[in-house]
Each structure stands twice: as structure tokens, then as C-alpha cells.
Amino acid sequence: MKNFFEKVCIVLVGTTHPGNIGAAARAMKTMGQQNLRLVSPSNFPSADASARAAGADDLLAKSKEFTSLKEAIKDCDLVVGTSARVRGIPWPMLSPRDFAKKISKNNFSSIAIVFGKESSGLSNEELQLCNMVLKIPTNDEYNSLNLAAAVQIVCYEIFTQINSNNEEKSTEDSLLVSQEKMEQFYLHLEECLIQIGYHDENNPKKLMHRLRRLFNRTQLYDSEWRILRGIISKIQEKNK
């Protein structure tokens, strides 16, 4: 089984200042994290990023760039967004410490922790791709947290938890499905709901949004994913 820290990737979305990418890489390396993914950074590679990395240039050199968040997380079976804002529709929310405990006890094969733009964080559309939201407790009167500091806090909690409870469990029979497979499932489900007249694609409201939230919270195993896809196919077959 691969080292636990190899399962985790830090995903920075739309980072506007290259120095924050370098500082985040430095924060990651001090806590044993090695996998950095960048989604449409404004300016990278950059001398500012290298300077702020302060010896973590190797993380910058092997970082991966993507044009969309969906592409960056498609191989992950647990995707966690970070947010400091209160949302209109509540999302399953964890503190960094509770999150670290959760991932140390479950059979996740690849985990993405997603951080949004410095000024606005993750959009609601980006959060829809996440299984849950991670919120760092801060002073209610001033909750502006630097991107690299946020990365440091989350990575620290993971590092502390894994080193105090290094009981990794993962079997082929109990692996959770990837985000790519979940997107296939959602497309299949929506297609079926339209065919049976339950979902009006011209007046969708928030049905698929709520169904995404339900299944993201549930976390499907591969065997469960196959069962649900089979049920949907049978419904479509009978409807024809």
C-alpha cells in the first residue's frame, strides 16, 4: 500500500498571486505533503513562487496544472472544499481536526483538498464537485486567513493525526469510487429521471443539486456504484 501522504493532493484553484503558490508549497513540504495541483493559476511558473517556496522548489517542479477543477479531481474518491463563507444551502462541514480523523480511518485511495481564489474562495459550482466542506475555526470578527496559512493548518492536522494513529486500511473490495465515476453516475441518473418524467430539464430547480449533495455525503463504494447504475439501466429499459 502506498504511503498515506501520497494519497492526498492539495488543489489550488485560480490562485492570483504566484507567491501564495510558493508559500503553500513550503507549508505542504513541512508537513510531509508532496502533491500539488494547480487549476488555472494567474501567473505560474514564477520567480516569486520559487522565492516564497524557500526550499520546496521540488514541489513546484512536479506540480500539475489543469484547466478545470473537474479535471483536476476526476481520479479522487474524496473531494473536500474549503470555505469561510456561509452558503444558502448548507453543506456537510468538518473542522480540519475532524477531517484528519475521518481520512485516517476510511479507505480512501485518493483525496483532494481544494482551496479557492484568495479573494472569493470557491464558487457554488465548484463546491458542487466536493463531498463536504472544511472550515477552519477563526475569530468571528476577523476571519481573513492567508491561503498558505490555511494550507498549513489543514496539512498540520493531517500530519499530527497520521503520526499518532498510523492504521492505514485499504482493500480492493472496499475502495470508494472516483469523482470521474460519480460524474458518470450523475449524468446517467439525470438522463433516467428525465425519461420517466420526474425531472424537467427546462425547469430543473435544485433537484440535481440536492441529489448531488445526498450522494456526495453518502460516499459510494465501487460495488454500490455498480448496483445503482444497474438499477438505473433497468428502469430505462422498462420505460422504453
DSSP secondary structure, 8-55, as one string: EEEEEES---HHHHHHHHHHHHHTT--EEEEES-SS-S-HHHHHHHTT
pTM, entire model = 0.74
Least confident of 14-23, 153-162, 167-176: 167-176
Q: Nearest-CA neighbor of 34 among 159, 136, 146, 118?
A: 159
pLDDT range class, residue 28, cuts 50, 70, 90? very high
112 and 206 share one domain: no
Half-sphere exposure of 111 (CA within 13 A, CB side): 22
Ranked by mean pLDDT, which of 1-10, 23-32, 98-107, 211-220 comes out on top? 23-32
**Residue 47 identity (one-letter amino acid):** A
Residue 3 C-beta-side C-alpha neighbours within 13 Å: 9
pLDDT at 3: 76
Query: 92 and 60: one domain?
Result: yes
Cell numbers at 185, concatenated:
453516475
Q: 121 near 85, Cβ under 8 Å?
A: yes
CB 40 within 8 A of CB 14: yes
C-alpha cell at 179: 469523482
* Boundary-marking domain end, from 164, 197, 215: 164
Give the Cα separation of 44 and 36 in Å (integer): 13
- Sign of the four-CA dihedral 94, 99, 105, 108: positive
Asked if residue 154 and residue 99 are part of one domain, the reply reads yes
Same domain membership, residue 157 and residue 78: yes
Q: In 3-state terms, what secondary structure has residue 196? A: coil
Tens digits of residue pLDDT in 180-203: 999 999 999 999 999 999 988 888
Q: What is the CATH number of the domain that holds 201?
A: 1.10.8.590
Residues 27 and 134 in one domain: yes
Instruction: Indicate the number of domains in the chain.
Output: 2
| CA–CA gap between residue 38 and residue 12 (Å, rounded) | 5
* Residues 27 and 95 occupy one common structural domain: yes
Q: Which of 141, 164, 187 is the last residue of a domain?
A: 164
Rounded Cα–Cα distance for residues 98 and 110 (Å)? 18
Show the domain range for 225: 177-239
115 lies in the same domain as 208: no
Q: Which residues pair with 13 in a beta bridge?
A: 39
Domain assignment of residue 169, yes or no: no
How much of the chain, in percent, has pLDDT values that exceed 90?
A: 64
* Terminal alpha carbon distance of the chain: 45
Instruction: Please compute the mean of the pLDDT values over residues 20-48 and round it to a whole number.
Output: 96
SS3 95: coil
Can you say whether the dihedral through the CA atoms of 171, 175, 178, 179 is positive or negative? negative
In a domain, 171, yes or no: no
Q: Are residues 153 and 196 in the same domain?
A: no
CATH code where residue 16 lies: 3.40.1280.10
